[in-house]
Structure 1
Amino acid sequence: MTDQPPGSPYEPEDVVQQDGVGDADPFLRLWTPHRMAYIAGENKPTSDAAGSCPFCRIPALPDADGLIVQRAEAAYAVLNLYPYNPGHLMVVPYRHVADYTELTPAEVADVARLTQEAMVAVREVSAAHGFNIGMNQGEIAGAGIAAHLHQHVVPRWGGDTNFMPVIGQTKVLPQLLADTRSLLAKNWPTG
């Protein structure tokens, strides 16, 4: 048994050691088995073909079913099914294209405008302190679906990086995605 951290509310008898997993620690576990779908590759395309791409299928669904928050001519904003933080959106061109340099001027304009509008909407409903915005270009750069470009808009708050994601590899999301989508869609700025 290792020493408890200063101020730990857990007494040594509260910590159960599982055989074969190393030394016990003072952390409780918040199990998130739904994340296994992402880890196992649910909804990941099996090829680069547009027909197997979730970003190509989503626009054909009703907005609430596809978690689409806003549509524009050449792109749309959709909630991330596996969010890093509450309100994590992606801005996606309708056209199945992998590289930012392949976007048309109209697609670049819509991606940029929807990103700005997403920031306004998220600030309105959740008072985000900041954002991480970016694209992972290619599988080697971390793109989960490299064949279809998408830009992440991740809201951030002071103190949102705590032991849960850093140590526990777990995010606590206080709201259902359908509720988040509805709230953002209602508060999306009109262009």
Structure 2
Amino acid sequence: MKTLWTPWRMEHVTGQAAKYTGCLFEPPGQAHYSKEHLLLFRDEMRVVLLNRFPYANGHLLVAPRRHLADLTELNTNEQMALMDMLSQSCTILRRHLQPHGLNVGLNLGKVAGAGIADHLHFHVVPRWEDDHNFITVCADIRTIPQHIETTFDLLVPDFQELLA
């Protein structure tokens, strides 16, 4: 038998994870990346983070720098920059994780499923055929095959190249 080991998720699964103060999409400082905050990319208009409690390995969060709740609040430049970053994120994930597909989505408003409704953000979730097995059905737990810090180290160089 193989062991499914994802200990970094247990606090989240049991509801014991510390509540984040401030806005997740506005990590402190001005650094272009931060392993501590799982920040892969930050420029004047966009941020990309690894989801600390992912649905799948490589689950990214792509958001505007400005604290906005709705797509209609974005200006044209922000819209174009976000769409470009979504495309770049898909390319980077495909290059390093070789997923069979990707889910790209946006939940606007708490009722629509937004966990953080006041700062819009897109989810980019790599998917593999048969990537979630019995444990999701039986225990409502997903397994992540790669440590999140390893995923960060794998992806951050490509995101940092986008700043050049």
Question: Could you say whether these structures have the same fold, taking a TM-score greater than 0.5 normalized by the shorter chain as the test?
Answer: yes
Match of 2:119 in 1: 148
- Deviation of residue 190 (structure 1)? 4.0
Match of 1:5 in 2: none
Match of 1:97 in 2: 68
Q: Distance in 2 between matches of 1:56 and 1:177?
A: 20
Q: Distance in 2 between matches of 1:60 and 1:165?
A: 38
Determine whether 1:124 maps to 2:95. yes
Aligned counterpart for 2:19 among listed residues 31, 43, 47:
43
What SS class does the counterpart of residue 25 from structure 2 fall into?
A: helix
Query: Could you give the per-residue CA deviations for residues 63-114 of structure 1, whole angstroms, max 9, x where no partner exists?
Result: 2222111233311111001000000001011111111111111221121111
Equivalent AA in structure 2 for residue 156 of structure 1: R
Structure 2-normalised TM-score?
A: 0.82
- Deviation of residue 29 (structure 1)? 9.1
What SS class does the counterpart of residue 76 from structure 1 fall into?
A: strand
Determine whether 1:56 maps to 2:32. no
Equivalent AA in structure 2 for residue 53 of structure 1: C
Which structure 2 segments of 5+ residues have no match? none
Equivalent AA in structure 2 for residue 138 of structure 1: G
Q: Distance in 1 between matches of 2:130 and 2:142?
A: 13
Q: Which has the larger radius of gyration?
A: 1
Match of 2:155 in 1: 184
Question: How many corresponding residue pairs?
Answer: 159
Do the aligned partners of 2:12 and 2:53 also contact (CA within 8 Å) in 1? no
What SS class does the counterpart of residue 66 from structure 1 fall into?
A: coil
Equivalent AA in structure 1 for residue 65 of structure 2: Y
Equivalent AA in structure 2 for residue 91 of structure 1: V
What SS class does the counterpart of residue 35 from structure 2 fall into?
A: helix
Question: Quick one: structure 1 residues 160 and 84, their matched pair in 2 at CA, closer, same or farther if it must change by over 3 Å?
Answer: same
What SS class does the counterpart of residue 54 from structure 1 fall into?
A: coil
Determine whether 1:107 maps to 2:82. no
What SS class does the counterpart of residue 56 from structure 1 fall into?
A: coil
Question: Quick one: structure 1 residues 108 and 40, their matched pair in 2 at CA, closer, same or farther if it must change by over 3 Å?
Answer: farther
- Tell which deviates more after alignment, 140-149 or 53-62: 53-62
Q: Distance in 2 between matches of 1:44 and 1:82?
A: 13
- Tell which deviates more after alignment, 89-98 or 28-37: 28-37
- Deviation of residue 181 (structure 1)? 1.1
Residue identity over aligned pairs, in percent, reads 33
1:59-98 → structure 2 map (5 Å cutoff): 60=30, 63-98=34-69
Which structure 1 segments of 5+ residues have no match? 1-8, 10-27, 46-51
